[in-house]
Amino acid sequence: MDVASIGADRIQAMMAQLKAAATKPAGAPVAPVGAGGEAPAAKVNFADALKSSLDQVSATQTRASEMGKAFSMGDDSVSLSDVMIAMQKSSINFQATVQVRNKLVSAYHEIMNMQV
């Protein structure tokens, strides 16, 4: 879950969408608005985005584990601070993933409990 990959232009586009949704009457569809009147951004497949995020978390955990093993085996090229930073990044990524999962499960339960 690399937050650095979200650029300022993407955030501006999201803000424009939120503002457009706030000014439209209820029930009216909201068309995506690009930053500065540009063409809308390409649609992202949710499954692909989720898989890439999970792969990134897994890679971070693997890297932190490898660095920890290298440090414990006495590798001079790996410092304790680098190992601790990698482990903290891995932990934060995992915690964020768990929170996303919890939100998805909560939303699923809300939808399943809706009366039709």
**Phi and psi for 97 in degrees, rounded to 5?**
-65, -40
| pLDDT value of residue 101 | 93
| pLDDT value of residue 97 | 94
Residue 103 carries which side chain, given as an amino acid letter?
A: K
pLDDT tens for the 116 residues of the chain, in order: 444 456 667 777 777 777 777 676 655 554 555 555 566 677 888 889 889 999 999 999 999 999 999 999 999 999 999 999 999 999 999 999 999 999 999 999 999 999 87
| pLDDT value of residue 3 | 47
Phi-psi region of 37 (alpha: psi -120 to 50; beta: other; left: phi over 0): left
Q: 11-16, long-range: CB within 8 Å, 24+ apart, which pairs?
A: 12/36, 13/41
- Indicate whether this model's pTM tops 0.85: no
Non-local CB neighbours of 40 within 8 Å, separated by 6+ positions: 31, 32, 33, 34
Integer-rounded Cα Rg, in Å, for the chain is: 20
* d(C-alpha 24, C-alpha 30), whole Å: 8
| pLDDT value of residue 1 | 43
| pLDDT value of residue 17 | 77
